[in-house]
Chains A and B, each alone.
Chain A
Amino acid sequence: NAGVTQTPKFRILKIGQSMTLQCAQDMNHNYMYWYRQDPGMGLKLIYYSVGAGITDKGEVPNGYNVSRSTTEDFPLRLELAAPSQTSVYFCASSYSLDPDREDTDTQYFGPGTRLTVL
């Protein structure tokens, strides 16, 4: 299993540009998440999805959009990039509702995308 994969690893955007951060998982997890990590602030949840076709806002959703058309993929869209969106973005996935699975109710993270908006 590759686990959770993210592309790109690094990106520099100009103010006002748009981009999509890609995330995929091959663990058959039903839940997926996007976080941003800023220095000294821990991780903040941007959006999450409990299954294909279902998404919901987290703590800091403004300036972002998501979609979940398949179980495996959960892209994060930035429209009109702003310097405040300079951050490291992590995608994660988890499985819920099955107490017999070793990985149930545990989030697994991708390697991250480092985004700079200038």
Chain B
Amino acid sequence: AQSVTQLDSQVPVFEEAPVELRCNYSSSVSVYLFWYVQYPNQGLQLLLKYLSGSTLVKGINGFEAEFNKSQTSFHLRKPSVHISDTAEYFCAVSPRGSNYKLTFGKGTLLTVNP
């Protein structure tokens, strides 16, 4: 079984500031890692994913994340946020090759203030 911990339930930042949303996972097997974004009253949209290869993954809207196997982390970063980035962000993990066992974190609400 695997688990995901998103260390911050809420992250308030000012517009144009950098942001990091933290995600740690636990698993006894190799994993795939995902970040999803959910805008108010909408479904989940895939932001980026790590399946294999380079540990630095670039996603949509200027976000990137780095897979760190030794620290079992997959933190999400953006160098300069916009008001439109205000949303809830979910980290998720699945065993490699078993995407149907996707486990989500509880989410981090990013609020970007002017």
In the complex where A106-B34, A112-B43 touch, is A42 in contact with B99 (Cβ < 8 A)?
no
Interchain CA distance A75-B45 in the complex, whole Å: 21
Q: Are A96 and B105 in contact (CB under 8 A)?
A: no
Interchain CA distance A2-B44 in the complex, whole Å: 15
The interface on chain B, measured as residues whose beta carbon lies within 8 A of the other chain's beta carbons, has a size of 21
A-B contact count (CB 8 A): 51
Q: Are A111 and B42 in contact (CB under 8 A)?
A: yes
Range for the number of chain A residues in contact with chain B: 20 to 34
B65 to chain A minimum Cβ distance, whole angstroms, is 15
Q: Which residues of B (32-73) have their CB < 8 Å from a CB of A?
A: 32, 34, 36, 42-46, 49, 51
Chain A residues within CB distance 8 Å of chain B? 4, 31, 33, 40-43, 45, 48, 50, 90, 92, 94, 96, 105-112
Chain B residues within CB distance 8 Å of chain A? 9, 32, 34, 36, 42-46, 49, 51, 90, 94, 97, 99-100, 102, 104-107
Closest 7 CB pairs of A and B: A42-B104, A105-B99, A109-B44, A42-B106, A111-B43, A109-B43, A43-B104
